[in-house]
Structure 1
Amino acid sequence: MNSLKNSVRLVGNLGMDPEVKSFDNNRKLARFSIATNESYKNDKGEKVTETQWHNLVLWGTQAKLAGDYLKKGDEVAIEGKLSNRSYTDKDGNKRYVSEVVVNEFMKLK
């Protein structure tokens, strides 16, 4: 049950090509966002689709694979955990970021 405490599973489409960075110790980091869509009918019976954007972070082998095989528009399934962090921007303002740290992904189409 411990794995259920902070677990995220999403299926969506990449909104951008993965941005991959390499560090001195040959460690890799990839970042990209995916869009998930939900549809429902409103009071008038019209179909309404809502899109949510999710920021993803991948490390190591997963980052390399994402950079090699994924591109904008691809449909993926991901599994990971939610992570929150903060930083101070160049103007001195504190910013907060929520992102999904991906453990595994699968390209669907």
Structure 2
Amino acid sequence: MIKLQVIGNLGKDAIVNNVNGKNVINFNVAHTEKYRDAQGNQKERTTWVECAYWTDKTAVAPYLKKGNQVYVEGTPDVRTYQTNDGRQGAALSLRISTVQLLGSRNADGQSANNYNAPAAGYSNQPAPANDMAEIADDLPF
């Protein structure tokens, strides 16, 4: 199995779709890497990752807004296509198993963690039985 982990910023707001009776949250994540070329010039390279999160836990979707920083984990898939000018192109997509909200940006473009998003990440993996007992102990009823 191949697993890919990405930390980056959302390029646009997430969209919830229903495909054959199953919910999928679609969004894209940009990871920008800074480096120096052979001449010592500062350069940036941005990699865009198209994400598909197949889940019934669509409550996270309203928090997946453009500019917010997220951690995503899942199985990669490379899709090839032909561009309008006849060249070969490739797109990296990721079938998400885990998404975690890390932060957001304010109007100045600076990092800010002032939104009311759930603190925990979302995952398609079942919680271990002992964790469920701890959660039940914290319930107010």
- Provide the TM-score with structure 1 as the length reference: 0.74
| Higher radius of gyration, 1 or 2 | 2
How many Å apart are 1:40 and its aligned residue? 0.9
The answer to whether the 8 Å contact 1:77/1:107 transfers is yes
The answer to whether the 8 Å contact 1:18/1:66 transfers is no
Q: What is the CA–CA distance in structure 1 between the aligned matches of 2:23 and 2:98, rounded to whole Å?
A: 15
The answer to whether the 8 Å contact 2:73/2:99 transfers is yes
1:1-109 aligned within 5 A: 5-23=1-19, 25=21, 27-62=22-57, 64-84=58-78, 98-109=92-103
Matched residue SS, 2:61 = helix
How many Å apart are 1:38 and its aligned residue? 1.0
Which of the pair has the greater relative contact order for Cα pairs under 8 Å at 6+ separation?
1
Q: 1:42 to 1:84 in 2, by over 3 A?
A: closer
Matched residue SS, 1:45 = coil
The answer to whether the 8 Å contact 1:7/1:82 transfers is yes
Q: Deviations over 1:27-62 (max 9, x none)?
A: 311111110011111233221110011100011234
- Provide the TM-score with structure 2 as the length reference: 0.59
Q: What is the CA–CA distance in structure 2 between the aligned matches of 1:16 and 1:79, rounded to whole Å?
A: 18
Name the one with the larger strand percent: 1
Identity of aligned residues (%): 26
The answer to whether the 8 Å contact 2:48/2:92 transfers is no
Root-mean-square deviation (CA), in Å? Answer: 2.4
Amino acid aligned to 1:74: N
Q: Which runs of 5+ in 1 are unaligned?
A: 88-94
Number of aligned residue pairs: 96
Q: Which runs of 5+ in 2 are unaligned?
A: 82-88, 104-141
